[in-house]
Every structure is written in C-alpha cells, then in structure tokens.
A and B are shown apart, each in its own frame.
Chain A
Amino acid sequence: MKPSAFEYLAPESCDEVLAALAGRGDDAAVLAGGQSLIPMMNLRIAAPPVVIDIMRIAEFRTIERGEEWIEIGAGIRMAQAERESASPLIEYALKHVGHAAIRNAGTVCGSIAHADPAAELPAVLLALDGEVVLRSTRGVRAVAADDFFRSYFTTAREPDELVVAVRIPTTPRRVAFLEVTPRLGGSTGEFATVAVAAAAERDDAGRFASVSLAFAGVAERAIRAREAETLLAGAEPTGDAIAEAAERAADAVDPPEDVHAGADYRRELVRALTRRALGELASR
C-alpha cells in the first residue's frame, strides 16, 4: 500500500516547527528518521494530513555532554549514537534495535516519542532516570521518563509539543542490557518479547548502593521493578539476594499474552533476565 497524500513541511528552525505544531495539533505528525511513522503510513494505520520533517534543523543534530547530563538531540540517528557512544547502556541496547539499515535512519528521540512498550530505548531511558525535553510555543519542560511514558504508544507529549532531546544523567553506573526475541541472534529486527535494562551503583564495600531495573515487553509501557530495586539497595551482591530480587521482579509483573509468548513465559523471562543482568552488575 501507499501512504495517503499529505502536506510536507521541512522547516530549517525549531521555532518554525513549533509554530507549525501550534497551529495544527493532532493533524500534524513529526517526521524524524521515519522508521516507525512511515511503516504506519504505508499501512495506513496513520494518515496525518501534515508531516513536519525535523531533520533539516542543525541544532537537533548534536550530542551535548554536560556535567550532569548527556543530551541527545532529536536529529541524532541511532547509528550515530552507537558510534559516538552516547551512553554505554544505550549502546548495548541499540545492538538489539531493528537492523543496521533501520538504525542508519531511525533516531533515538523518535523511538522514545513513539513509546512502543516492547521497544528497547524507552526501557533504557527509564532505567537511567533520564528525561525527555519538550518544547512548544508555550515554553520548554523536562519530563522524567517515568512520567513521560503513559501507555501503548502514549506519552505525556501534548499535540503542540516537540521532543527536542532526551537527557541521561552522567552518574557513573554499571549497566547491563539483555533481551529475548522470537528470533535468536544479534540484530534480529524484532521487538523484545522481554528485555531488561539494568543499572547499578556499588559502594566502596562492593554492596549495591542503588539498582534500577526496567523492562520492555511486559506491560503497556516500559516499567521499573521498584520492589526488587528496594530490596537490593544496600545489599551484598550475593546469589541469594539476586535470586530473591529476580523473584520479586517476576511476581510484580502482569505481562500481556500474544502470539510470541504467554504471560507465564514472559514472567519466567523476567525472572531469568533479571538474575542474569544482576549477575553481570555484581561481577563487573
């Protein structure tokens, strides 16, 4: 199938994009890498009357490294984020996103804005306590990942707002990313049946000072395993502590059933992947 006809705007400044969004609201779709939007348009799941291409805007094509945050602009494609090591956890997760050809076009911010519940990057942003920077003609705001993701493909972004960047705290943490997909191997192109993005700080004695565990594929949005995280705060990274945390994480989820996996299997994957991810965080 072919996409419906639309009006194409390709502004060269952020202000022009915001003005266009302010006037059109839900009638306008933002086009960045197009790796989610264009398939939906080809299948006519989406038929936006106006498409605003933001890839001509030079200020969006930057990765800024500040003292507290690394900020990835809306024009940064996944392959570029991978090459420039925007963040180790993003780099690990990107190896599981689509294929090379998809990552050469798709953007980091686009995947976050799309908010597929089985996508890798939302779970990563959530695990790292990242934020989404939104701009409109009304102003700018930064929304914590946990408040940004609402439900299936649904976020806190208002129709007149543009995701201009995502930011990740520079806090040094050990990280791990593990994923199971219907097709085995590296770049499988599949969304996660279950994926875990994990990060931990260890104190001088080697105990877990703080741990975050975020999952894709187990709920209507990427979610954190708060109970398991609390259990691990201040804990020795022993096999028993890890096994107990993995149980809590698995008990806390109520995963969906689909053609790839039933709820019980997804819960078992949460248990197994949590155990392995924490094992990696404990050993490194």
Chain B
Amino acid sequence: MTPVSVTVNGTTHELDVPPRLLLADLLRDELGLTGTKIGCAMGACGACTVLVDGEPVRSCLMFAVQADGRAVRTVEDLAGASGELHPLQAALREHHGLQCGYCTPGMLMAITPLLESGQPLEREDVREAIAGNLCRCTGYETIVDAVVEESRR
C-alpha cells in the first residue's frame, strides 16, 4: 500500500492505496464518486475524463498514486449544493444533449475548462474539446449546440 494525499472537489483525502488502483477506481470505489464513468479503460472513449490541476485527463490512464499532491475535480463538483444544475448541465438538458448519459460526465469535464475561460466559443472549439469523447446515442450536434449557446449567454 502506498500513502496518497489527494484533493478531490476541494476536500483533501489521506489514503493508503494499492499502486495498481486507477484514479477512476479511487474516485468511484474509495470515495463513492460514481459520476465518473469507466468505458473502455484504455483511453479511447473519454467517459472517465476528470480535471487534474485544472486540465482534462483520463482517470483510467492514471494511477491514484500519481495524483498524490494534486487537485482533482469531478462531475460532482458542477451542480450546486442543493442539487441545482450547473449552467452547462442545464444547457445540455435544454438542447437534448444527452440520452443515456454515460458519456456526459466525461463530456462535461472535457468542456468545463474551455467554458470557464469565458470566451464565446465557436462550434469548432467545442468539437476539438470533445474530439476524444465518444457518444454512441445522442450524437454530437446537440452537445455542441448547448455548449456554444451557453458560452455566449
């Protein structure tokens, strides 16, 4: 077991973990943050995308021990304390930007830094940001619609 100190959504956790534990599994199984999904576990689908020190990374391609001393932000950080949707989540709902929702947490975390930059976004910016996130049911158009409109609100 290896000691790890990791800050997740603003709370610092001191844990002993086996080195082979993936960050995605630390979040889901140890911390109960099951919003982060695991799709392919090989970096292809993007469902497990979280922010580490503010940048999107694949939590299935990172061992929990590598997150030692770093700040992780997951989809659970987006909605308000009483459950009100983050504007980006509300925009996705409004535009039918999700159906089964499995890819949605990864999509949200891939888009969040871009949206928080405060720039009005073009469709191409959004496409590039989610190029590594596979959606197999909704299709990407409505997701792009939602993000572009939200960035210009």
Chain A interface residues (CB < 8 Å from chain B): 1-8, 10, 31, 34-35, 38-39, 41-43, 51, 53, 55, 79, 98-102, 104-105, 185-189
Contacts and interface: CB of A to CB of B under 8 A. Distances in A.
A242 to B, nearest CB: 31
Contact of A39 (B2, B20, B43): B43
Contacts, number: 94
Interface in B48-67: 49, 52, 55-58, 60-63, 65-66
B20 A189 contact: no
B20 A79 contact: no
B44 interface: yes
Interface stretch (B83-91, B94-102, B127-135, B141-149): B127-135
Decide if the interface of chain B is mainly helix, strand, loop or mixed: mixed
Nearest to B43: A39
Contact of B20 (A2, A35, A104, A188): A2
B110 A101 contact: yes
B120 interface: no
Nearest 4 interchain pairs by C-beta? A99-B132, A8-B19, A39-B42, A187-B131
Contacts of B127: 185
B41 to A, nearest CB: 5
Contact of B55 (A8, A38, A79): A79
B139 interface: no
Contacts of A102: 43, 58, 61, 132
Contacts of A31: 63, 66
Contacts of B42: 39, 42-43
A83 to B, nearest CB: 11
A48 to B, nearest CB: 11
A178 B20 CA distance: 38
Given A35-B43, A42-B42, A8 B131 contact: no
Contacts of B19: 5-8, 51
22 contacts: A1-B41, A3-B22, A5-B18, A5-B19, A6-B19, A8-B63, A8-B65, A34-B62, A34-B63, A38-B60, A38-B63, A42-B61, A98-B43, A100-B128, A100-B132, A101-B49, A101-B110, A101-B132, A102-B61, A102-B132, A187-B131, A189-B132
B129 A100 contact: yes
Contact of B41 (A35, A42, A98, A101): A42
A100 B56 contact: yes
B46 A101 contact: yes
Nearest to B56: A101
Interface residues of B, number: 30
Interface of B: 2, 18-20, 22, 25, 41-44, 46, 49, 52, 55-58, 60-63, 65-66, 68, 110, 127-129, 131-132
Contact of A104 (B18, B57, B68): B57
Contacts of A51: 19
Contacts of B62: 34, 38, 105
A188 B131 contact: yes
Nearest to A55: B66
A55 B63 CA distance: 13
A189 B66 contact: no
Nearest to B65: A8
Contact of A35 (B22, B25, B61): B61
Contacts of A104: 52, 55-57
B44 A42 contact: no
A34 B65 contact: no
